[in-house]
Chains A and B, each alone.
Chain A
C-alpha cells in the first residue's frame, strides 16, 4: 500500500540520530574554519551519549516498519542534518573503495583487503564527468609481474585517512572505456604520494585528497577482479561500476537534503521569531496575501519535500530489487538543484544574517554545493535521463 507515514519505531530511531547530529553540529564551525586539521575519530561527548543510548535501547524494527533501504536515506539525512563531516564516532570502514572491492573483487582480494579503509580514485585534473578519458596508466612488467602506475588523481574522498585506494587506470588508451581497470594500491607503496588535502569551497573538514603515482609498482594480483583482458566491443566492466551508482546516487542526494533541511529548520525558526506567519491553508488566489518571505520559504520547503520523497521512492525501488537506473538519476538531479536553491534561498530570505559566519547558513550553502557535482553532475544525470526517455544509446545522445 502506498503510505507516507513513518512508524513510531522509525521515528524513535530518527529522533536518536537527530540528537546525535546536534552534538556533532556544535563542532561544525570549528572544523570548517580549521581546514588543515583532521577531525578526531571520536568526539569527547561520545562516551556519555553512547552510555545513555545503551541505557535507553530503541525498539527493534520489524517487518511492519519502513524498509531498510528507505530508512538508510532518512538516517543519512539525519546525520548530515547535523554536519557533513563531523561524527560522534567516525566509521573506520566502508570507504567508496570498499564498495568497489565488494562489487568487483575476487574472493581472495576481498579476504586480503576487506578490513582496510579504501578510498576510490577516479577523477583526474583532466577528466571528471567522462571517466573513459582516464589517463593514469598501468603497464605490466612481465619480468617482475608488477604493474607500473603513473598519473595524478584528485578529489579522493577519505583520501588521507584511507589505508589504501581503488584506482582507475588504463591499460590501453586507444581502447577507451574497455581499457580501464581498477587496481588496489596500499599506502606506503613506493611511488604513491599523498601531496595534500584539497582546499575546497565547502565540506572543508572532509578529508579529500590528491594522489600522485610515479613509477609506482604493485603486484600483478592487485588488479581488481583479476581480468587483464581488454574486451573488443562491450564495456561490461565499466557498466558494472556504473551500476553501483543506483544506490549511491540517491544516497548523495540524501546527504545534500540533510543539509538543506538543516537550513530550512533554522530559517523557519528565525522567521517565526520575527513574527512571519506561514499560512498553509492559503489557496491559489490568496498567495499574494502571504508575505514575500513566507511565500518564498514555503516554496523552498515544498521543493525540499518533493526532493525528499523522490529520493525515498528511488531507495524503495532499490530495496525491492527493482531496476531504478532512471529514478536514481532523477533523484540525484532533482536534489542537486533543490539543495542549491534551498540553501541559497534561505540566505536571501535572512539577509545579512545569512552570510555571517556566526551562523551556519553560509556553511550549509557552501557544503551543499557539491551535491550537484559529485557522483555525476546534474548535466550527466540529465543525459542519462534523456537517453532513458528517448531510448537513445550513448552514441545517439552525447
Chain B
C-alpha cells in the first residue's frame, strides 16, 4: 500500500536526531573542516548513542531493535543537515557492520559483529572507489583470483572512509566477470594503507587509499556463504545512503539561504522580495522535496528486500545533480558572502560536489 505516513517512532527519531545535529554536529562542522579532523569526542558521543549497536541482533551483543532502511535514511538526512562529513564519520561503523549483517555468512557475523557492540568506538571501511577515470563501483578494476582455496587481491582503492583507523576493509573486486566483496584485515600482508587523502569537500572525514599487492586471503574472507553475496545490493544501499546525505546538505543550504535573503537588503528592500532570488529559493525547495521522495522510495524497496538497483541509481543520480545545483545557487544567493568561509555555504558547496562522485562512504 502506497503511504507516506511516518511511524511514531520515525517522527521521534527524526526530531531527536535533528536536535542532536543542531546541538552537537553543526557547531563542530567548521572547525573540523578547517582542521581536517573528526573530533574524537563526537565519535564517542555518537557511539554511546548506540546508532550502530542498537540495531545489531542480541546474539551479537546488540540491542536487537528492528532496523528500518527508511528510518536510517531519515537519520542520515538529519545528521547530514548538521554536517555531512561528521555524519558519515559517526555512522561509519554501521557501514561495515550492516554489510556483514545483511550479506555475511554466520561465521563472518560471529567473527565481526560483536566488536561493534563494545564499549569503545571501532569501525571498518567499505572500499569501493578507485583512483582512475570511469571507475565504476559495479565494475571494479581490482581483481580477486581464486587460488588453492584462497583469494588473491590486487588493485588500488581510494576515498576509503575512516581508512586511517578501520580494523577491517570490505574490498570490492572482480572475480572473472563477477562482483565480489572481501574482508581484508588491516594487517594483511601486501596491503598498504595510504596517508590521509586531501579532498575538496568532506575534509573532516578521514579518507585513505589502499594498495593491494597480491593480498592473500583465506576462502572464508569472501563476503557471504559459499558462492558469495549480492554485492550490488551493498552498493545500492550505499548509494541511497549517500543520496540521503546529499538531501541533508541540500536542506541545510536552503534553510540557511531563506533567513539570509530576508535580512539582506539591496536597492531598499530584502533581496528575497525580488523574484530572481525568491524563485531560486522556490526551486531549491522543490528539488529537495522531490529528492526526498526518491530517497524514501529506494530505501523502502531496500527495507522490504526488493531489487532496488534502479531506484537507488535514480535516488543517487537525482540527489547528486540537484544537491550540487542547490549548493551552487546557495552560494549565489549569498553573493560575496557565499564565497567567504565565515558562512557555511561554501563548505556545503564543496561537500555536494564530493558526495556526488563518491561511493561506499555510508550505508543504511
Contacts and interface: CB of A to CB of B under 8 A. Distances in A.
Given A280-B313, A382-B279, A285 B293 contact: no
Interface string A1-45: 111111100100000000000000000000000000000000000
Q: Classify the secondary structure of B's interface with A.
A: helix
Contacts of B2: 3-6, 10, 66-67, 70, 312, 316
B301 A4 contact: yes
Contacts of A344: none
A306 B293 contact: yes
Interface string B299-321: 01100101001110110111011
Contacts of B272: 386, 390, 392, 397
A108 interface: no
Contacts of A10: 1-2
A280 B309 contact: yes
A244 interface: no
B285 interface: yes
B202 to A, nearest CB: 14
Contacts of B281: 386, 389-390
B134 A289 contact: yes
Q: In the complex, which of the residues B273, B275, B282 has the most CB atoms of chain A within 10 Å of its own CB atom?
A: B282
Interface stretch (A97-105, A133-141, A179-187, A297-305): A297-305
B5 interface: yes
A280 B289 CA distance: 23
B262 interface: yes
A281 B310 CA distance: 7
A305 B134 contact: no
B285 A392 contact: no
Contact of A4 (B139, B279, B297): B297
A2 B296 contact: yes
Nearest to B10: A2
Contact of B4 (A2, A281, A306, A390): A2
A129 to B, nearest CB: 13
Contacts of B289: 310, 327, 330, 334
A41 to B, nearest CB: 33
A167 interface: no
Interface of A is mostly: helix
Contacts of B358: 284
B201 to A, nearest CB: 14
B317 A306 contact: no
Most buried by B among A65, A284, A385: A284
B5 A283 contact: no
A386 B317 contact: no
B317 A307 contact: no
A390 B260 CA distance: 10
A379 interface: yes
Q: Give chain A's interface residue range (CB within 8 Å of chain B).
A: 35 or more
B58 to A, nearest CB: 24
Contacts of A281: 138, 232, 235, 309, 313
B290 interface: yes
Interface centre among A283, A288, A305, A396 (most CB of B within 10 A): A283
A390 B320 CA distance: 26
Contacts, number: 176
Interface residues of B, number: 60
B282 A285 contact: no
A288 to B, nearest CB: 5
B188 interface: no
B320 A284 contact: yes
A313 interface: yes
A7 B2 CA distance: 8
B278 interface: yes
A333 interface: yes
A383 interface: yes
Contacts of B7: 1-2
Given A3-B2, A333-B286, A288 B134 contact: yes
A299 to B, nearest CB: 7
A230 to B, nearest CB: 29
A309 interface: yes
B15 interface: no
Contacts of A390: 258, 261-262, 272, 278, 281
B129 interface: yes
Given A65-B1, A390-B272, A302 B317 contact: yes
A282 B286 contact: no
Interface in A37-69: 64-67
Contacts of A321: none
A298 B304 contact: no
B3 interface: yes
A1 B278 CA distance: 34
Nearest to A327: B289
Given A283-B359, A302-B318, A1 B138 contact: no
B317 A382 contact: no
B70 interface: yes
Contact of A64 (B1, B10, B293): B1
A286 interface: yes
Contact of B293 (A6, A283, A310, A333): A310
Given A301-B314, A386-B279, A285 B1 contact: no
A285 B359 contact: yes
Contacts of B294: 302, 305-306, 309
Contacts of B135: 283, 285-286
A283 B282 contact: no
Given A281-B232, A390-B278, 4 more contacts: A283-B235, A298-B317, A302-B318, A312-B293
23 contacts: A3-B3, A5-B304, A64-B1, A66-B1, A280-B309, A280-B310, A281-B232, A282-B136, A283-B135, A283-B137, A283-B235, A305-B297, A306-B293, A306-B314, A316-B2, A333-B286, A334-B289, A382-B282, A383-B278, A386-B278, A389-B258, A389-B285, A397-B278
Task: List the 8 closest A-B pairs by CB distance, nearest first.
Answer: A286-B136, A283-B137, A309-B293, A386-B278, A385-B282, A382-B282, A285-B135, A281-B138
